[in-house]
Each structure stands twice: as structure tokens, then as C-alpha cells.
Amino acid sequence: MTIRVILNGKRVELDGARTIADLLRSRGLDPRLVAVERNGEIVPRDRYEECELRDGDVIEVVHFVGGG
């Protein structure tokens, strides 16, 4: 099943990704090091596995970067 979303401002097609967790895994992202917003609302980290993606969702993924 292909889902079409806007990911960080770009239209993308996601094959097989059904949840936020699937999306992060498909992009090689560690869920502990990102924050995710779906349709203008922050998704709590403990809901990534259950938060289902739908056609037309607008997803923003922000990476945490350490420095010093």
C-alpha cells in the first residue's frame, strides 16, 4: 500500500509505511533523536507505533543535534 504525504515540505510516496514508527525506520532515523509533528500537532514519542499515516498527511521530522 502506498501512502502519499508531505514530509518536511516535499511530496513523498511511502511504500509499506503505515505508522510514524515505520516512516522513521524506513528513513534510518532513531526515534529517540527526533521530534515528529503530524498535521500541525506534535506526536508523543510513545505513540509513534500506533499513529497511522494517511494520504495527505503533513509530517515534519526534526532531528536533535548535539554540540558544544
Per residue in 16-65, pLDDT (tens digit) is 889 999 999 999 999 999 999 999 999 999 999 999 999 999 999 998 77
DSSP 16: S
pLDDT value of position 60: 98
Spatial separation of the C-alpha atoms in residues 12 and 47, rounded to whole Å: 22
Domain positions in the chain are 2-63
Helix/strand/coil for 66: coil
Please tell me the pTM assigned to this model. Answer: 0.89
Closest CA to 20 of 62, 55, 64, 59: 59
The class level of CATH for 2-63 reads: alpha beta
Lookup: cell for 6:
508531505
Per residue in 45-58, pLDDT (tens digit) is 999 999 999 999 99
